């Protein structure tokens, strides 16, 4: 017999799809910034893309910050104790899921499965690092908040108002300070770019795992992120 369970609250579902759209748009814009010169993009064109990337990044970061808060006050399956790979008996839960997989048994979970919690945490950490490094790069590339004003003040040439510092305007910056700033920026840019590719790989793996789990185990995993409800034929392994 089929039974329907309410799992994902509205806020969690909104976060998921806003996050999905932001990551999609940011990925496209990021690729255009990285490889735009190969397709004849002008300097002004790339700067415009960086500004647009930053604005979408603000939405992404605010949405992510709200999810961090919601982990403390949201529904039972959205809270950190149901998401993070920690807690009493978690090791036994992982062992049980691995045993189920190896034996071909079908175990359904309402929230994240024990192994799924590891994947969800890894994705969340990557998103947080991408958001943090992205905010730094936004300040160092196009002098946008929250660090842009401080960066502009640092690199402004003598007698130049920091508010007049612009990207690719060497006459507005002190060459020595600007070189120091770009050196500071380097590790952030490298981390942001490297994790961009790692994030794309994990997202692809996440989508594959969700589709395969939906096909093999059922439970309406994909549709549940729209409706908030899962339909199971057997009692869940993680009832709340």
Q: What is the CATH number of the domain that holds 149?
A: 1.20.950.20
Q: What is the pLDDT of residue 23?
A: 96
**Is 239 inside a domain boundary?**
no
Q: What is the pLDDT of residue 187?
A: 97
CA distances from 58 to 52, 67, 237 (A): 10, 14, 38
Q: What is the pLDDT of residue 195?
A: 95
Query: Binning pLDDT at 50, 70 and 90, where does residue 199 land?
Result: very high
* Average pLDDT estimate for 40-58: 92
* Average pLDDT estimate for 68-97: 93
The proportion of the chain whose per-residue pLDDT surpasses 90, expressed as a percent, equals 71
Domain total of the chain: 1
pLDDT tens, position by position, 137-181: 999 999 999 999 999 999 999 999 999 999 999 999 999 999 999
Q: What is the pLDDT of residue 215?
A: 77
CA distances from 79 to 8, 20, 67 (A): 11, 20, 10
**Is 25 inside a domain boundary?**
yes
Q: What is the pLDDT of residue 56?
A: 98
Q: What is the pLDDT of residue 166?
A: 94
Asked if 233 and 2 touch (Cβ cutoff 8 Å), the reply is: yes
**Is 122 inside a domain boundary?**
yes
Token digits of residue 203? 């997202």
pLDDT for 218 beyond 70: no
Domain span at 49: 3-232
pLDDT tens, position by position, 2-18: 888 999 999 999 999 99
Asked if 185 and 137 touch (Cβ cutoff 8 Å), the reply is: yes
**Of 128, 124, 90, residue with least CA distance to 12:** 124
Q: What is the pLDDT of residue 217?
A: 67
**Is 63 inside a domain boundary?**
yes
**Is 194 inside a domain boundary?**
yes
**Is 172 inside a domain boundary?**
yes
**Is 238 inside a domain boundary?**
no
Query: Binning pLDDT at 50, 70 and 90, where does residue 219 land?
Result: low
Q: Tell me the pLDDT of the chain averaged across its residues.
A: 92
């Amino acid at each position: 017999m089929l039974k329907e369970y309410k799992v994902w609250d509205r806020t969690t579902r909104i976060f998921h799809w806003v996050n999905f759209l932001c990551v999609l748009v940011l990925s496209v814009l990021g690729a255009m910034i990285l490889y735009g010169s190969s397709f004849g993009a002008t300097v002004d064109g790339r700067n415009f893309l960086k500004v647009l990337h930053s604005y979408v990044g603000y939405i992404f970061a605010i949405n992510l910050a709200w999810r961090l808060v919601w982990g403390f006050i949201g529904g039972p399956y959205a809270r950190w104790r149901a998401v993070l790979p920690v807690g009493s008996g978690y090791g036994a839960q992982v062992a049980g899921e691995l045993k189920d997989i190896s034996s071909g048994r079908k175990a359904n979970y309402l929230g994240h499965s024990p192994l799924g919690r590891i994947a969800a945490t890894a994705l969340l950490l990557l998103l947080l690092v991408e958001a943090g490094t992205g905010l730094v790069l936004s300040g160092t590339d196009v002098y946008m908040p929250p660090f842009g004003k401080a960066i502009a003040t640092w690199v402004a040439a003598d007698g130049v108002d920091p508010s007049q510092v612009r990207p690719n305007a060497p006459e507005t910056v002190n060459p020595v300070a600007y070189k120091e700033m770009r050196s500071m920026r380097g590790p952030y840019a490298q981390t942001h770019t490297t994790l961009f590719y790692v994030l794309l790989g994990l997202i692809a793996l996440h989508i594959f795992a969700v589709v395969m789990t939906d096909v093999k185990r059922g439970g309406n995993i994909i549709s549940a992120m729209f409706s908030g409800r899962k339909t199971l034929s057997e009692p869940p392994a993680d009832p709340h």
